[in-house]
Amino acid sequence: MRLEDYFELLETGEMRIKGTRIGIETVLEDYLDGASPEEIAVRYPSLSLEQVYAAITYYLHNKEAMDSYLKAYEERSLKAWADQNRNPSPLVKRLKELKRGRGRKLESPIPAG
């Protein structure tokens, strides 16, 4: 089996581990933070140890391209976070108001009685 067979490339350019919703960046970030393949497999039960090793091996064989991929992924994530903070949904706005203690009290769906 070729290493590439362990992954699927989404239209967005993101790489997922085939048969899961887990991106290769998830495994690689844990690995680069010092987690062992066994620890990663325990953290993500939908991944087999073989899939974890495939992701790490793919990274090691394509380090320059994968480092660029990880950097671009981080930049997209930071931009999405900033966009979300600039334009929060009505629910998020309400929750922030409540957290600051400025919002009105939550109304109970159960009538007092």
How many other C-beta atoms can be found within 10 angstroms of the C-beta atom of residue 37? 20
* Token code pair at residue 41: 């497999």
* Token code pair at residue 42: 């325990």
Residue 26 pLDDT > 80: yes
The confidence score (pLDDT) of residue 25 equals 97
Distance CA(61)–CA(43), nearest Å, equals 24
Q: Which of 11-15, 39-43, 82-86 has the highest mean pLDDT?
A: 39-43
3-class secondary structure per residue, 10-78: CCCCCEEECCCCCEHHHHHHHHHCCCCHHHHHHHCCCCCHHHHHHHHHHHHHCHHHHHHHHHHHHHHHH
Residue 5 pLDDT > 80: yes
The confidence score (pLDDT) of residue 113 equals 58
Higher pLDDT among residues 110 and 103, named by residue: 110
42-60 per-position pLDDT tens digit = 999 999 999 999 999 999 9
Q: What is the CATH number of domain 3-73?
A: 1.10.10.10
The confidence score (pLDDT) of residue 102 equals 63
* Token code pair at residue 7: 């992954």
Distance CA(38)–CA(102), nearest Å, equals 47
Average pLDDT over residues 91-111: 72
Mean pLDDT score across all residues of the chain: 90
Average pLDDT over residues 36-41: 98
The confidence score (pLDDT) of residue 108 equals 55
